[in-house]
Amino acid sequence: MMHTGVLTAISVSHVTARVDEIEAASAAEPTARIDTLLEKTGVDEAFVLQTCNRTEAYVVTDRAEQGRHALESVVTGVRSGAVVRMDHEESLRHLMGVAAGLESLVLGEDQIIGQLKTAFETARRVGGIGPMLEDAITKAIHVGERARTETEINEGIVSLGSAAVSLAERELDLVDTTALVVGAGEMGTLAAQALQSALVKRVIVANRTVPHAAHIAATLDIEANAVGLDAAAAAAETADVVITATSSPDYILDAKSLSTAGETVCIDLAQPRDIEPAADDLSTVAVYDIDALETVTDETHAKREAAAREVEAMIDAEFDRLLALFKRKRADEAISTMYESAERVKHREVATACAKLESTGELTDEQREIVESLADSLVGQLLSAPTKSLREAAAEDDWTTIQTAMRLFNPEFDGTFPPIPAEGERGDDAASKPSPAGGPPSGDLPPSIPESLDELPDSVGAGDIPPHVLSRLTDD
């Protein structure tokens, strides 16, 4: 599979956006959004990552402008200042930072790794993952796992669930209180565990599927029971603290249902929201959303700054390895084309030679094997030097040499490999710099097969070219 293409991404996250703006950018069904993106002109691959504090989409296209155009549908109606648009290299780095927890509200939190893996498999299932996203996301997950095993980036508060409990502890003494957790997903599970550590007396877990809620309740070493979502309002009346984290498109608790709850601290981690914002107007109810967690997470961030610097250095090294991987694969595609061309010539010439030998007398199987072995040896030796040259060319961003090789050995090559960045695509002079992930410079490229041997790059010699191609470059 070809590793051509440019990665483009768009992000609406807690860094620049409010909760309602993240909600506006989110899709009810990520798979439907991936399908929609794949239908856009030029989009070959698509990936969507949605969590409670971010909505992101990534596409691979032939040209960056195609990717930018396709992604605008994700942020229709979202305030411009809330949107971060990323080119190829920025997208790759950002994805690694997300996986490592550097972009999370809780710096270094662990939950994002599982969310990234789930989104990866979802996109793969609907055909959104191709060779470029496969390499990029796999590398990001690898970086995220290294960050957590080799640094202290996830020491202390490691999830929004535990951050929510820390916030609740600032508002009231949780010892011997009753807590309601709405939602039995990973976030709800982490919140329930953090509440147990905070020494609450009792936890009620509400969920649409009661057995899932019962499973969480059973893992706790304190009094805990499970109820359905329809009983959440009644449970809130007995709770001192409520933490919600469902994926429901509608409010689970509205102002009316909380009006009789008494003194209650509510922390809404859901996206879209589980608790009607108007409930915060009630004199007895305090409602906090994800934005309110920043005071808690800022303290954690300060403690983890040293680890974050280690992770940044790790990302720098892994980023360079990823670019080298892309370059090597693109060079290998040119090398593969060269060998395929040589194999076609070899098979034709071996068949011709054997036919001539048979016409002068009997040709044994052993003699035929000798002829074929000779041809294989010649191909291998002749292509060894240009193979080395092509790999060196890729490492040095010499895409003119690779373009020329593709044209020489594949007459049908249309000249669009690798992609050429648009003018100013990376905010600099693209005409004098290589494109993202090892793309070619955007200056003039050979418009066709060279007209003479003098026009060949230094790394491609006449002895490296099949006869049928060589004949086109000489006057004889």
Question: Looking at the annotation, which residues are catalytic?
Answer: 52
Q: Which helix (H) or strand (E) holds 124?
A: helix 111-125
Upper half-sphere CA count for residue 95 (Cβ side, 13 Å): 35
Query: Using N-to-C axis directions, what is the helix angle for 88-100 and 111-125, rounded to 10°?
Result: 130
Query: How would you classify the pairing of strands 6-13 and 54-61?
Result: antiparallel
Contacts 24+ apart (CB under 8 A), 79-84: 79/17, 79/21, 81/16, 82/12, 82/16, 82/17, 82/18, 82/21, 83/10, 83/11, 83/12, 83/16, 83/17, 83/25, 84/10, 84/11, 84/12, 84/13, 84/15, 84/16
| Cβ-contact 177, 168 below 8 angstroms | no
Q: Residue 239: how many CB atoms within 10 A of its CB?
A: 24
If we measure between CA atoms, which residue out of 14, 16, 49 comes closest to residue 31? 49
| Cβ-contact 25, 12 below 8 angstroms | yes
Q: Which amino acid is at 72?
A: E
- At 48 the three-state DSSP class reads strand
